[in-house]
Structure 1
């Protein structure tokens, strides 16, 4: 945690955390445990201090089927972003990390 966030009012920290939790609500990371690109996304999530629902398509055939049918391909990592009725499917680990980083930065307090 940065010095800036440590010096913040605890109630402000809770408010920002609730706001971030709402922004992350419904996001699902489709992955495989052995996938190095999935590991990259998971390490980035850990460093950003966020936790998402994660689904291993090797262990969940229904999730694999949904990923392929709705996302268009059976490639991981893939981040499902709820957006109205259909949602968006974001592939490529770098794009996923950039998206998540932008969400966290959007919630950061302004000086």
Structure 2
């Protein structure tokens, strides 16, 4: 049985942190999903171009964005790829509870997102 390969873009102003956290998630779920982190976007203005270039099927917004900014990012990305699966980490999760909480939150919500 071949598995879907998910191409993931993160939108995070701290690219090294995004890479590290996503790396942990990818490792933890590799028996169930194949996720390739193809790019990180640091600025909202760069979302359209990056989504157009990388053609992801999943996009995550990080916890430093306000709900309004996360919605703007998702709207821009879906303007390029309408059926893109998107996931926004709640604002402040990283600051309030740390990176482990972010990894756990993503893993808890990943099946609903990817299997939908």
Normalising by the smaller structure, the TM-score range is: 0.3 to 0.5
TM-score under structure 2 length normalisation: 0.38
Greater strand proportion: 2
TM-score under structure 1 length normalisation: 0.39
Q: Which has the larger radius of gyration?
A: 1
